[in-house]
Amino acid sequence: MKIWWDGNININMELKIKNGKVYQKNRFVAADIGIEKGRITKLKKNLPRDSDEVINAKGKYIIPGIIDAHVHLRDLEQSYKETFVTGAKAAAHGGISTVLCMPNTLPPATTFNVIKKLNERKKDACVNIELFGGVENNFSEILRFGDFVRGYKIYMDTKSFSRNSLNESFNFFRENYENKKLKLVKPIAVHAEDGELIEKFGRENKICEIEAIKFVSGLAGKSGFPVHVCHISTPEGAETVKKSDLTCEVTPHHLFLSKGDYEYDNVNPPLRTKHDRLKLWENLNKIDIIASDHAPHTLEEKEQGASGFPGLETMLPLMLDSVNKGRLTIRRLIEMMCERPAEIFNLKNKGKIEIGFDADLTIVDMKRQVKLLGDNFCGKQKWTPFEGWKVKGIPTDTVVGGKVVMGDGEVV
Ligand code: DOR
Ligand code: ZN
Ligand code: ZN
């Protein structure tokens, strides 16, 4: 296959994807896709092969580009763990075309200057990167960077920044939207573990998450901004969200791993019992989206207790495998990994395959079987808690804005 991605955006190139089954309006249709200037311009059978590049997707499914609404691509002073460039390659390899980056970078993305720096790092990355700005008693900075971020992130899992601070932050957003210092309504994502309860009962106690989510749901309307709960890990959490105005996400590690299933299983929120994990699956219809919480640490750091796992390159294969096993439908997968993330985070022209939409597409082979191996990763960290897991169903091609960033399994 001719591959022309050279790290520079060349938006005049044309691409056609032929002979695949294309997900359109809730079903798969045999169609070709014509792409010009980064947009989908044609959707019909038998398009001529007259463009710069043609992908033959025979026997494969073409779904909207996967949106991972929760990743940590580090960079800056933690470039040894991951950079925007390596993290974007990991995303491309995982069939993901857009990632939303969380602000716990070093230095943290809580100031205008750091956000400006991170924004510049985006230009060398091969997938779409959106930034979240951190909220922690930095109100004057938020007023400066508000226009440059996709949303805001609040961590309420420390004693010094817990319930009261969340309350104050929500008031701040409401007041400053009303007085027009913040011009746009944007989603506020919350890491919902209660810092005070963690201190009292320990993080492992489910009550820390359950009570935090209850508290957030009680306050949610107060900010006037939509509030999203990150990485819920308890079935009780999912039930609370469902009864509220909140939206929420679940990670693959909370769906596939129980406490103790992996030697270095530390993650926040913690892995739960098998019983709770299976109940999360039963509650999947109460959860809006699936996100990886990609947290690249070195293995040495993991051995010393660092929390989190790399997840960009295993998320979609694990979920496609679950489709093959009948645990969810492909339709529900697309809803949770494409359509709903685009809606919740206001990503215009993304999440669907329609004329005029961005040409962000993921081509999947539902029949191909592979073993998940850290050695094959494109991210900086070459390990995974899913090492050796056999999965059926993988992304083979990732197209971002009409550019092939992974072709036939190879990241360009
Ligand atoms: O386990 C986690 N790791 N949870 C988080 O909330 C942050 C993440 C990280 O950045 O490493
Ligand atoms: Zn978190
Ligand atoms: Zn996170």
- pTM for the structure as a whole: 0.96
| 39 and 13 housed in the same domain | yes
- Is residue 352 in some structural domain? no
| 276 and 319 housed in the same domain | yes
| 266 and 398 housed in the same domain | no
Asked whether residue 5 carries a pLDDT value surpassing 90, the answer given is: no
| 125 and 42 housed in the same domain | no
- pLDDT tens readout for residues 299-347: 999 999 999 999 999 999 999 999 999 999 999 999 999 999 999 999 9
Q: Is the CB of 93 under 6 A from ligand 1?
A: no
Q: Is the CB of 266 under 6 A from ligand 1?
A: no
Residue with the smallest CA separation from ligand 1 atom 5 is 268
CA distances to 85, 129, 228, 258 from 298, in Å: 17, 23, 29, 22
- pLDDT tens readout for residues 106-160: 999 999 999 999 999 999 999 999 999 999 999 999 999 998 999 999 999 999 9
CATH number of the structural domain spanning residue 265: 3.20.20.140
Return the pLDDT at 388. Answer: 98
| 200 and 51 housed in the same domain | no
Distance 307 CA to ligand 1 centre (A): 6
Could you say which DSSP state residue 22 is in?
E
Residues 364 and 396: beta-carbon distance below 8 Å: yes
| 47 and 106 housed in the same domain | no
Asked whether residue 1 carries a pLDDT value surpassing 60, the answer given is: no
pLDDT tier at 50 (50, 70, 90 boundaries)?
A: confident
Q: How far apart are the first and last CA of the chain?
A: 12
| 74 and 203 housed in the same domain | yes
Q: Edge-to-edge, what's the strand order for the sheet holding 151-155?
A: 66-71, 96-101, 128-134, 151-155, 188-191, 227-229, 247-250, 289-290
| 18 and 104 housed in the same domain | no
Residue with tokens 């580090």, as numbered in its chain: 74
- pLDDT tens readout for residues 266-290: 999 999 999 999 999 999 999 999 9
- Is residue 171 in some structural domain? yes
Helix (H) or strand (E) holding 206: none
- Catalytic option among 75, 276, 288, 293: 293
| 74 and 56 housed in the same domain | no
| 258 and 198 housed in the same domain | yes
Helix (H) or strand (E) holding 224: none
Return the pLDDT at 4. Answer: 43
Return the pLDDT at 11. Answer: 47
Domain with 285 in it = 65-344
Return the pLDDT at 147. Answer: 86
| 29 and 123 housed in the same domain | no
Pairwise pLDDT comparison (1 vs 398), residue with the higher score: 398
Asked whether residue 184 carries a pLDDT value surpassing 70, the answer given is: yes
- pLDDT tens readout for residues 298-310: 999 999 999 999 9
Distance 277 CA to ligand 3 centre (A): 19
- Is residue 351 in some structural domain? no
| 157 and 111 housed in the same domain | yes
CATH number of the structural domain spanning residue 28: 2.30.40.10
- Is residue 14 in some structural domain? yes
Torsion angle, alpha carbons of 278, 219, 289, 161, to 10: -80
Active site residue 261: no
Helices (H), 103-187: 112-121, 139-145, 163-178
Please give the Cα distance from 269 to 280 (Å, whole number). Answer: 14
Pairwise pLDDT comparison (228 vs 49), residue with the higher score: 228
Return the pLDDT at 52. Answer: 86
Measured in whole angstroms, the distance separating CA 77 from the mean position of its chain's CA atoms is 22
Q: In testing the pocket of ligand 1, which one of 204, 293, 298 has its CB within 8 Å of the most ligand atoms?
A: 293
- Is residue 350 in some structural domain? no
Please give the Cα distance from 103 to 110 (Å, whole number). Answer: 7
Task: Count Cα atoms within 13 angstroms, Cβ side, for 159.
Answer: 8
Q: Is 399 left (phi over 0), alpha (psi -120 to 50) or beta?
A: beta
- Say how many domains are in the chain: 2
Q: Return the bridge partners of 14, or none.
A: 36
